Amino acid sequence: MKKRLVTTFKQQTNIQGAEVKNMKLSGAEINKAYSEQLAKLLVDGYTLVVARDNGSLKSEKTIREMVVLEKEGKQYEFGFWYEGLNRNTGKYTLSLVEFDKHPLKREISDSENLLETPFIYYSYTFGLEGIYHPYKYFAFSTEEEALELYEKRKQRKEYREWAGQHIVNTFKVAKTNYKGFKKDVTVESLRYSYKLTNKNGRECYVQKETGRVNFY
């Protein structure tokens, strides 16, 4: 009976872990969502516009990698619109909007997205400065996950900057549990330890990770 319960618990744990893992998106999942939506539009009567009226093929591309569709004499743009949330995170919304000859002068908020339930995902980049690196780009299905990663990376960066300045925080405590350092102790918070100095000038170090005390 115990063995069966343990197996069931492990299965539930694996399922929960899989659900959490699925929140991070792969390129294949994004491509699938894009392709499925495009297929629906083609079935609904939209056609891809690849040639001009005289039959010559169009060669120009927009910076948002949009494709041009046409239906009943009107042209539309289909693709992902990008909206920056902060320096490292952004929001991508799959959109179908009326075609604009001057797309660089327009924002997504200025255009009506004709897709009723657009596919949306969020990204985080590690400050690549325009250079693509497959292991430094993450896509998520929720904004919360992208911003959570952003905050964690921001805190790590701020801590490294603080540690690099070698700032020592000093304060006094009335009592401690360490022999010879019971009262009136000055404490200096170092990177890996606390330095304790009693009123007679005697010093000791308490390791932050282990709590081990070293007397000098």
Which single residue is written with the structure tokens 């932050």?
208
pLDDT at 188 over 50: yes
Higher pLDDT: 130 or 37? It is 37
pLDDT tens digits for range 15-62: 333 343 447 888 889 999 999 999 999 999 999 887 777 666 665 544
Give the H or E element holding residue 5: helix 2-21
Instruction: Reduce the DSSP state of residue 26 to 3 states and report it.
Output: coil
pLDDT at position 156, please? 84
Grade residue 14 by pLDDT with cuts at 50, 70 and 90: very low
User: In the structure, what pLDDT confidence band is assigned to residue 125 with cuts at 50, 70 and 90?
Assistant: confident
Q: Which class for 56: exposed (0-12), middle (13-18), buried (19 or more C-beta within 10 A)?
A: exposed
Element of type H or E holding 17: helix 2-21
Domain extents in the chain: 26-162, 169-215
Q: What confidence score (pLDDT) does residue 101 get?
A: 61
∠ Cα 34 38 42 (to 5°)? 170
Share of the chain above pLDDT 70, in %: 75
pTM: 0.59
Using pLDDT thresholds of 50, 70 and 90, give the confidence band for residue 64: low
Q: What is the mean pLDDT of the chain?
A: 78
**Within 13 Å and on the Cβ side, how many CA atoms surround 97?**
20
pLDDT at 43: 95
Check pLDDT > 70 for residue 86. Answer: yes
Beta strands of the chain (E only): which ranges?
24-25, 47-48, 67-71, 74-84, 89-98, 120-125, 137-140, 169-175, 183-189, 193-197, 203-207, 213-215
200-208, long-range: CB < 8 A, 24+ apart: 204/178, 204/180, 206/178
The predicted pLDDT at position 82 comes to: 87
Residue 104 banded pLDDT, cuts 50, 70, 90: very low
**Once rounded to an integer, what is the mean pLDDT over residues 183-211?**
90
